[in-house]
Amino acid sequence: MVATLYINGAWRQASDGGAHDVHSPHDQSVVAEVSQATQSDVLDAISAARESFDSGVFTSWSFNERSALVAKIADLLERDADLIARKESDDTGKRFIEAQYDLADVIATFRHFAALGLKEHGRSVDVGLAHVTSRIVHEPLGVASLIGPWNYPLLQIAWKVAPALVAGCSFIVKPSELTPQSAIALMRIIEEAGTPKGVANLILGPGSVVGTSLINDPRVDLVSFTGGLSTGQTIMRAAADTVKKLALELGGKNPHIIFADADIDAAIDNAVTAAFLHSGQVCSAGTRLIVERSIHDRVVNEIVRRAGNIVLGGPSDEMAETGPLISPDHLRNVTAYVEKGIAEGAKLLVGGKRSDKPEHENGWYYLPTVLDGCSSQMYCVQEESFGPVMTVEVFDSEVDAIRIGNDTNFGLSGGVWSSDSQKAARVASALRHGTIWVNDFGPYRPAAEWGGYKQSGIGRELGEHGLGEYLEIKHIWTNNAPSRSGWFRD
């Protein structure tokens, strides 16, 4: 029997003993067995979080004390980084070295929020009255449900857990059922670091089973969710009854615009990385290439050549450049997406099928794929595949490029390549997406806010706003010379 639920400061089995296997996307081998929570376990976790919050056991700590806790968690993560990276690589099928990079980002996230907690919080307001003191204070928001996806399992959870701890919230973490191991490891570290009982809780299992109470329960004040658009919409509807605060990080179909005056070699290389890194299972993947007509053939021919050479392989394959898709369901979805694109009139230039290499036979490997001749009206341009699929459109002018780049319901990220800095700045300013890279694609830093315009989400993670999501703002007006209001007659 496995005991991998962490509730009210104790590790325990599911109340009905339920458990499930986690399978490697590389070869379907079983990499872990974890508990699968029941509804009563979820309610216990919410009770523990609510009681710990209301007791003041953690909210009474100062920002400085909570920052020190988060810094200690960063130290312990550093100590265990390779062990956790191995688990994450097993769960996701990504190469061990990529999981190591992700762990470095996780640690940087905890360090960022630990430092942010040390800053001055709140401010005085000049209300124009000498006898009044007016203060804006920041208080912990309450109990938070923190729900994460499978593509960067620990990193996406870290963006929520680190600020929640600095703010003084109590919370329930629910990682994706496909990739639970690194969240278990994080929770062991949170316990070791000395977090008070009941503040941090871990629930495991499919969102359709354990998710409902995490959203509906009136004792939960905030839901911070990273995942797909349709799940985000379901959560938003379910949260309406109790008017919960929501922080949503959803999908993207991100435009990557290349002008003819760009450094073409660098642009092509970055376009390949932007679309095919982690086999496109990246919310900010640059899978929508928008290229100036005069350089279309040069750019696309080279991208196709490069895509065809990408080496696929599993966690410990040192020659591999990217790995498998996460699951058979996802492989089916990506396959159907490409078929639909071709049926809509897109021209398949490379890929478009599962890898037929014998060593990939038991894994969910899909070849890097380029669909040319696309336009904004197509499903494959508007919807996210979350796989290694690049769609290609052409433009003829700056205005055209901006119009196409904004012709989407998503608004997570985008890139623009040009050697004309003024033109690049104009396009960056006109694109309605949460992050824009100029002559680059993909880098981010914990100190800079991350999040989406339009249907890519609500709110921001990271930066300073990423802490603000977990804080309530209170105005305290103190009259130091009380007197009658004098409004109504005696």
User: Which residues form the catalytic set?
Assistant: 249, 283
Is residue 251 a contact residue for ligand NAD (CB under 6 A)? yes
Both tokens of 116, joined, read 């942010």
Is residue 25 a contact residue for ligand NAD (CB under 6 A)? no
Q: Which residue pairs, CB below 8 angstroms and at least 24 apart, start in 31-35?
A: 31/87, 31/90, 31/91, 31/181, 32/87, 32/90, 32/91, 32/180, 32/181, 33/2, 34/2, 34/4, 34/180, 34/181, 34/184, 34/204, 35/2, 35/3, 35/4, 35/5, 35/204
Size of interface with ligand NAD, in residues (CB under 6 A): 31
User: Smaller CB distance to ligand NAD: residue 168 or 451?
Assistant: 451
Task: Report how far residue 213's alpha carbon sits from residue 222's, in angstroms, rounded to the nearest whole number.
Answer: 12
Is residue 270 a contact residue for ligand NAD (CB under 6 A)? no
User: Smaller CB distance to ligand NAD: residue 105 or 359?
Assistant: 105
Distance (Å) of CA 235 to CA 123, 164, 249: 34, 20, 12
Cβ-based neighbour number of residue 79 at 10 Å: 12
Is residue 35 a contact residue for ligand NAD (CB under 6 A)? no
Q: Which residue among 180, 198, 211, 323 contacts ligand NAD (CB under 6 A)?
A: 211
The helix (H) or strand (E) run that includes residue 345 is: none
363-401 in b/e form (b: 16+ CB < 10 A) is bbbbbbbbbbbbeeebebbebbbbbbbbbbbbbeebeeb
Q: Which residue among 250, 320, 349, 381 contacts ligand NAD (CB under 6 A)?
A: 250
Q: Which residue among 163, 457, 459, 468 contacts ligand NAD (CB under 6 A)?
A: 457
Q: Which residue among 412, 436, 462, 467 contacts ligand NAD (CB under 6 A)?
A: 412
Q: x-or-dash pattern for ligand NAD, window 99-138, by CB under 6 A?
A: ----------------------------------------
Task: Report how far residue 124's alpha carbon sits from residue 131's, in angstroms, rounded to the nearest whole number.
Answer: 14
Is residue 148 a contact residue for ligand NAD (CB under 6 A)? yes
Q: Which residue among 4, 231, 287, 322 contacts ligand NAD (CB under 6 A)?
A: 231
Nearest distance, CB of residue 205 and ligand NAD, angstroms:
8
Q: Which stretch binds ligand NAD (CB under 6 A): 54-62, 249-257, 292-300, 305-313?
A: 249-257
Q: Which residue among 168, 207, 388, 468 contacts ligand NAD (CB under 6 A)?
A: 207
Going through 24-164 in order, the beta strands assigned E by DSSP cover 30-35, 123-124, 132-140, 143-147
- Interface residues toward ligand NAD, by CB under 6 A: 147-151, 156, 174, 176-177, 206-208, 211, 214-215, 226-228, 231, 234-235, 249-252, 283, 384, 386, 412, 452, 457
